[in-house]
Amino acid sequence: MSQRFDFHDIARLPLPADNVAIATRRIDAGAVVQDGDRAYSLPDTVMEGHRFAVQPIPTGAPLLSWSLPFGYAVDDIAPGQYVCNQSVLDALSTRALDFSLPSRPNFADSIRPYELDEAAFRPADPLERYAHDRHFLGYRRDARRGVGTRNAIVLLGTTSRTGSFVRQLEQRIKHLAADYPNVDAIVAVAHTEGGSEQPNNLDLLLRTLAGFMVHPNVGAVLAVDYGVEPVTNDVLRAFMQANGYPLDAVPHRFFTLDRGFLPSLDEAERQVKAWLPLVNATPRTAESVANLRVALQCGGSDAFSGISGNPLAAWAARELIRYGGSANLAETDELIGAEAYILQRVRDLDTARKFLATIARFKERAAWHGHTAEGNPSGGNKYRGLYNIVLKSIGAAMKKNPDVRLDEVLDYAERMTDNGYYFMDSPGNDLESIAGQIASGCNLIYFVTGNGSVTNFPFVPTIKIVTTTQRYRLLAHDMDVNAGAYLDGAPMDELGADMFELTLDVASGKRSVGEKAGHAQVQLWRDWRQTDASRLDELLHRPAPTGEGLSVRARDVAAPAVRFNVLQGSGGSSLDKVGLIVPTSLCAAQVAQMAAARLNRKRSDGLQAVSRYVTLPHTEGCGNSSGHSEELYVRTMLGYIVHPMVEHCLLLEHGCEKTHNDFMRAQMASMGLDLSRFGWVSIQMDGGIQAALDKTEAWFAQAAASAEPPRRSSGGLEALRLGIAGPGPVTDAMARGLADLTTAVVTAGGAVVAAENAGVLSHPLYRSAVLGDQLAMPTLSYGAPLPAAGLHIMETPTAHWVETITGLGASGVDVIIAGVTEHPLQTHPMVPVLQVADAASNLDPYAGDLDLVLSGPPAAWADAIRQRIAAIAAGSYAPRLYQLGNVDFQITRGLLGVSM
């Protein structure tokens, strides 16, 4: 017998004029819905958050939510029929579903450009201000900076090259804040930008760093560089002085790493200790609510974001503006299709024009790279009912209350100067967008999530608002507010009033759930590689490397017998065996780091089947373009999954990303991998951070208990897979030593993978000795596993050092030799990186960070490197900077990747 439901028990209409409804629970095929005085059946299963028709929709007619069109029918659609487009069918086809999908779509996306009717435009009046005031306890700064909701000492990596330094410094000294009651935290801010090549995002990068430094939540800031990057402390200081940033009003130091890693940590620690009493001397005082500036964000959105969570955030933001405060809406590409709603109330015509010009500029930049900004929705969005960018945008726009007018439009990270409601240009990537809002001056974050995003920021508190009661119960330890209570019948005014009181409490020092969890991430709007469309056709049709290795020139090379410890395990033979946690997106990265650290602490409790547990934290998998850049990401991640060093591997998804676990399962199945060998954990679906950590630990314990331990043997050079990299030109002696090593390994039957951008490949001595007349052209795609032994050159789309060793590591190499010429480099979290320098390169200040400083006859250099590799294989040596924590990992987006 068919199930029967009353419409109001299983669905919602955002507005009465809509012709499709949103299912508030799963409704199985065959169910009958009583909708007022009529009834209709559902021929297909409709998932929670997905839509079904409530009125007849003839072919060509619009489908309406919030009375706005999000698509047009390609067939007549009857009441009760599940509405779906091709993209949602494609997204659901990768999921493990227990029901059948319709065979074809019944509506098509048709996003019609918005046109502003300037003749009919009328400026809107501002909200009427309250005559009375409210207060919170904040940290008053110089008037040019405002009032802080937190008092933190920030350790800022000025570029990507110093990110691992500030992270390691944070781990070393963060506990010191506990002794100072007015110091909320000592936090690192590390990012991916400014470390290689002249960036196209230079202006927004400098605005962001400058905004961080003078942010009212910052009690003192240490900005760290090497002094040789494209963006240095000197460049940042000059920018701040030229653009009126009140640098003199914040205790600060521009700190250059002109000595070894450990001495630099010692000096930086002394500086922070000297600041602590000064920062602690600023107490919380009663401050007007007008000093609050709230960032409005959403991530992991679902169909209910626009009904419950976003309207709740908008209600509280409206209340704040009535008290003289400010709110900041962002995510440019997530307002495409909602322009009419945003522009219903605007301060003046110029502001409306600037808003539309900002969207047009975003679309143009995406087009330079072969993408459309309309491609934003992730697999997680579609799974939870956001079929296309219009539906996502209409829901996202509900973070603007209809009573509120749009007052200003800002560039990314441009500072807010007055009260009111702002829109700031940014990508839809949550972390990148938040960084810009913080730099613009936001001192509190409202983050609305449908799936249950666990994102937080290091020195600005985040209030997490989840859209449904079911998700709130699942993720109660990671969410602050249940907006799903509105769907359950609670009045929005009541929920909004409670939300506003929580806002004052958190601004006054009450720790948010995310702060208690100790979870925070930073990502800046990543650089884009194209400045017009002139190279697009060439880049889209560039042939891929063939995978066929190069021959090595025959010559006599002295190769003393060196034997290596070799381990034979489930992934093949290698010099080491590790347990690997693969985060399937940026938002799972820090939880993966927490899991690896926890496992390493417990290795003595029976988790010793591997030498260590590692993870690969990165910034991809969501919030970026598809196409070529996504192919690079997926290929690289798969390269690590099948890496011979990996004995046990678990994939950890956030849950709402593009490249979720089901997506990765499909990719791995297409490679013929046995999926039962792998672990699968979901932060959102398994119940939050702590539940994911527990499940991860349990899986590795079971894997260790049930598997045979790796078998030990020995091998010579034929057992070695060697990577060669190094960003600068090498000396003649170094070129000779690496040429001899390459020849010896390949001749013996081993493998050598040289990065395309390795300085040694441009040295005539190396080319002549190794390649002869062959061109030094890539034979291996970035991140691709080695197809066979021999000599390969891996393509490197950028000069970014960490992106280079990330790609090399995915090829399956056992160790990477880095020729150091300027300063020591970050190491890899999984693959040992030996930093080797010529004594003639005058790197004496960094001698303690280098693994080998070679001198004497170059003919002996190859053997010295071989001996050091043997020590790594024996477990008697680990690269120095790996031991000190100078470790980083970053997947390239190539030449066509953009943030979205």
Tens digit of each residue's pLDDT (9 = 90 or more) over 65-91? 989 899 999 999 999 999 999 989 998
In order of 326, 349, 358, the CA distances from 354 in angstroms are 19, 9, 6
Q: Distance between CA atoms of 876 and 867, rounded to whole angstroms? A: 11
Q: Distance between CA atoms of 636 and 426, rounded to whole angstroms? A: 27
Q: Is the pLDDT of residue 416 over 70?
A: yes
Q: Distance between CA atoms of 228 and 238, rounded to whole angstroms? A: 16
pLDDT confidence bin for 606, thresholds 50/70/90? low
Query: Highest mean pLDDT range out of 173-177, 609-613, 717-721?
Result: 173-177
pLDDT confidence bin for 559, thresholds 50/70/90? low
pLDDT reported for residue 608: 67
| End-to-end CA, the chain | 46
In order of 7, 11, 29, 53, 873, the CA distances from 36 in angstroms are 8, 13, 20, 15, 74
User: If you average pLDDT over residues 529-554, what whole number do you get?
Assistant: 93
In which residue are the tokens 């006599």 written? 556
Closest CA to 577 of 608, 617, 618: 608
Q: Distance between CA atoms of 704 and 697, rounded to whole angstroms? A: 11
Q: What is the pLDDT of residues 296-319, one digit of tens each?
A: 999 988 889 999 999 999 999 999
Cα-to-chain-centroid distance, residue 479: 20
Instruction: Lowest mean pLDDT of 263-272, 383-392, 524-533, 755-764, name the range.
Output: 383-392
User: If you average pLDDT over residues 704-715, what whole number do you get?
Assistant: 90
- Whole-number percent of the chain with pLDDT over 90: 88
Higher-pLDDT residue of 606, 368: 368
Q: Distance between CA atoms of 488 and 482, rounded to whole angstroms? A: 10
Q: CB neighbours (10 Å) of residue 129?
A: 13
What b/e string do you get for 583-612 counting C-beta neighbours within 10 Å, with b at 16 or more? bbbbbbbbbbbbbbeebeeebeeebebbbe
pLDDT confidence bin for 614, thresholds 50/70/90? very high
| Lookup: tokens for 316 | 């509280």
| Cβ neighbours for 186, distance < 8 A, ≥ 6 positions apart | 152, 153, 155, 170, 173, 174, 176, 177, 272
pLDDT confidence bin for 429, thresholds 50/70/90? very high
pLDDT reported for residue 555: 79
Q: Distance between CA atoms of 306 and 15, rounded to whole angstroms? A: 11
Q: What is the pLDDT of residues 648-666, one digit of tens each?
A: 999 999 998 889 999 999 9
Q: CB neighbours (10 Å) of residue 132?
A: 6
Higher-pLDDT residue of 269, 393: 269
| Lookup: tokens for 295 | 């960032």
User: If you average pLDDT over residues 21-43, what whole number do you get?
Assistant: 95
In order of 280, 287, 345, 489, 497, the CA distances from 323 in angstroms are 29, 12, 19, 28, 14
Contact 464, 447 (CB under 8 A): yes
pLDDT reported for residue 251: 98
Positive/negative CA dihedral, 669, 673, 676, 678: negative
Q: CB neighbours (10 Å) of residue 60?
A: 11
Q: Report residue 136: phi and psi, to 5°.
A: -135, 170
Helix (H, G, I), strand (E, B) or coil at 803: helix
What b/e string do you get for 33-52 counting C-beta neighbours within 10 Å, with b at 16 or more? bebeeeebebebbbbbbbbb
Helix (H, G, I), strand (E, B) or coil at 236: helix
pLDDT reported for residue 224: 98
Tell me 46's DSSP state.
B
pLDDT reported for residue 96: 84
Q: Distance between CA atoms of 217 and 711, rounded to whole angstroms? A: 54
| Lookup: tokens for 5 | 């439901």
Helix (H, G, I), strand (E, B) or coil at 339: helix
The H-or-E segment that residue 422 falls in is strand 420-424
In which residue are the tokens 């399962």 written? 665
pLDDT reported for residue 141: 98
Q: Distance between CA atoms of 302 and 48, rounded to whole angstroms? A: 10
Q: What is the pLDDT of residues 238-277, one digit of tens each?
A: 999 999 999 999 999 999 999 999 999 999 999 999 999 9
Q: Distance between CA atoms of 606 and 676, rounded to whole angstroms? A: 22
